[in-house]
Amino acid sequence: MKKFFVIGILAILVWSCSHKTAPPATTATTATATGDATAGQATYMAKCQRCHALKNPGDFTSDQWPPILNSMAVKAQLSDTEKANVLAYVLANAKQG
């Protein structure tokens, strides 16, 4: 029984190490922000927690934040300036990846 356990663990290790793929090529489409990150933090803290607990900006990457913000900005009734500022804040603190 112990032998099967060890063989199973080895098989899993070999499989997990052999199926790695190259990361996708990065392009110039990565989101950039032109807003004020300090003002964005204040807006984020004031408006986003009205409906839900605040998310840690570092829990998401700079590629994940724009679609999240696009869907939430409508619900939070953010102006274009507020949206740009919040984007600047979350991108400045986003997870690298």
CB 47 within 8 A of CB 82: yes
Q: Cα–Cα distances in Å, from 46 out to 11, 26, 50, 71, 91? A: 51, 34, 7, 17, 18
CA distance 22 to 57: 26
**DSSP type of residue 64:** T
Domain ranges across the chain: 34-97
pTM, 2 dp:
0.66
Place of tokens 């934040």: 65
Per-residue pLDDT of the chain (97 residues; tens, 9 = 90+): 666 555 655 556 555 555 444 444 433 334 556 899 999 999 999 999 999 999 999 999 999 999 999 999 999 999 999 999 999 999 999 998 7
CA distance 85 to 40: 4
